[in-house]
Amino acid sequence: MRDLVSVDWLAEHSGEGDLVVVDASMAPPGSDEPLPVDGIPGAVRFDIEGAMSRSDETDGLGPVGVHDMLAPHEFERALRAIGIRTGDRVVAYDAAGMFSSARAWWMLRAAGIDAAVLDGGLPAWVAAGHPLAPVAGDLGREGDVTVAWDASAFVDADATAAALATGEAAVLDARSPSRFTGAEPDPREGVRAGHMPGARSLHYAAIAPSGRLLPPEELAARLRDAAGERPIIASCGSGVTAAVLALAATLTGREAAVYDGSWSEWGRRDSGRPVATGAGRPAERETPQPPILLTDSR
């Protein structure tokens, strides 16, 4: 299965026994917008805000990001809880078209599961005249999937800082230009406005206008303009829309990783990480804190 599928492809293959559709919809930060009750028939909820993330938790290594990836054994347990089985192919979509579905795809891909994103998401499904049905909490069966973890899919703050210092990888920020420059305050309490010094802005919506990804040749050009030919580390507010950049990189044959904690971790007032605003002038460094590392299992 390709990493990106169309509504026509999904409609054609819907009902195949090994095909699972997950609704990975989530509200933008600072929004109380409710999740849609109805979605693509047969879809099961992939709860990025809850069971599928280590949201608002801490561990022995210090604060974690808002949507940090679960440890492999925890993710395996969460996938089994919704009924994912060995050999399943998973298509992820969201209610915005292309917002959080790529995060679900990246998580599944990192776990060794055959996964794809539905281009255009739920709006494209509805526009094509297909029916809706209530989204289920699980598939009504016991899952048995085994996670085969790809440790290179996610990087931490230290690896991102090293890339910024050496230039060996390009750090691309998927947030809006106004959040990148610091003109707009961060929607999360206790998080500074601005960006990582040396990062480049590439708004996820610029490569997925109206919820659909640009053609591959245009994606390749946008990525080349932003990153040259270097590997890409994608960042955003909390590691969600960064996966849209990772999807674009994958579709164009480029090496990519997602900075899991993203700005919700780096931009914390107590992170000790430098912040730039506007054209990238670094702000004064906060009081240094111990480095935030990922455990071997993550």
> Is 297 contained in some domain?
no
Q: What is the pLDDT of residue 282?
A: 36
For residues 102 and 188, membership in a common domain is answered with no
Per-residue pLDDT of the chain (298 residues; tens, 9 = 90+): 799 999 999 999 999 999 999 999 998 777 778 888 999 999 999 999 999 988 554 444 344 567 899 999 999 999 999 999 999 999 999 999 999 999 999 999 999 999 999 999 999 999 999 999 999 999 999 999 999 999 999 999 999 999 999 999 999 999 999 999 999 999 999 999 999 999 999 999 999 999 999 999 999 999 999 999 999 999 999 999 999 999 999 999 999 999 999 999 999 999 999 999 995 533 333 333 333 233 222 2
Q: Catalytic one among 96, 232, 236, 294?
A: 236
Residue 9 lies in domain: 4-134
For residues 210 and 256, membership in a common domain is answered with yes
Domain count within the chain: 2
pTM of the predicted protein model: 0.90
Distance (Å, whole) CA 67 – CA 144: 24
Alpha-carbon 136 to chain mean position: 22
* Domain endpoint, select from 104, 134, 164: 134
Q: What is the pLDDT of residue 63?
A: 46
Cβ-proximal residues to 216 (8 Å cutoff; 6+ apart), any chain: 251, 252
For residues 29 and 102, membership in a common domain is answered with yes
For residues 163 and 129, membership in a common domain is answered with no
pLDDT in tens, 87-140: 999 999 999 999 999 999 999 999 999 999 999 999 999 999 999 999 999 999
Exposed, middle or buried: residue 286 (CB in 10 Å: 0-12, 13-18, 19+)?
Answer: middle
CATH of the domain at 262: 3.40.250.10
Catalytic, 236? Answer yes
Distance (Å, whole) CA 190 – CA 203: 23
